[in-house]
């Protein structure tokens, strides 16, 4: 068994109003120096060693992320 991490982020050109709201809250809290926030998702999968990288990318690209609006990165921990 291995832990695999999949990080999913909105594509750079996709407006992220949730990230904007977080950035606005930081500004109101008086935090200086944070110019932008992007909000994504972090998945942790427990995976048999037999599952290959192609399968992991298929899982990420067909379900965990929507390729129309999101990019993803698969990392074996």
Partner 1 sequence: MRIGVITFPGTLDDVDAVRAVRLAGGEAVNLWHADRDLHGVDAVVVPGGFSYGDYLRAGAIAARAPIMDEVVVAADHGMPVLGICNGFQILCEAGLLPGALTRNVGLHFVCRDLRLRVESASTAWTGAFAAGQEIVVPLKSGEGRYVADAATLAQLEADGRIVFRYVDPAPNGSTSDIAGIASANGRVVGLMPHPEHAIEPLTGPSADGLGLFTSVLAAVTSA
Binding letters toward partner 1, positions 21-50, x by CB under 8 A? x-----------------------------
Minimum distance between the CB of residue 5 and partner 1, rounded to whole angstroms?
Answer: 16
Q: What is the dihedral of CA 59, 39, 75, 67, to 10 degrees?
A: 30
Handedness of CA 18, 24, 30, 33 (dihedral sign): positive
By beta-carbon proximity to partner 1, the closer residue of 1 and 68 is 68
By beta-carbon proximity to partner 1, the closer residue of 5 and 63 is 63
């Amino acid at each position: 068994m291995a832990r695999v991490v999949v990080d999913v982020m909105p594509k750079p050109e996709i407006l992220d109003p949730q990230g904007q709201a977080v950035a606005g809250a930081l500004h109101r809290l008086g935090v200086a120096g944070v110019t932008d926030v992007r909000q994504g998702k972090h998945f942790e999968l427990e995976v048999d060693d037999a599952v290959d990288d192609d399968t992991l990318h298929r899982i990420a690209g067909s379900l965990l992320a929507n390729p129309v609006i999101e990019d993803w990165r698969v990392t074996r921990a």
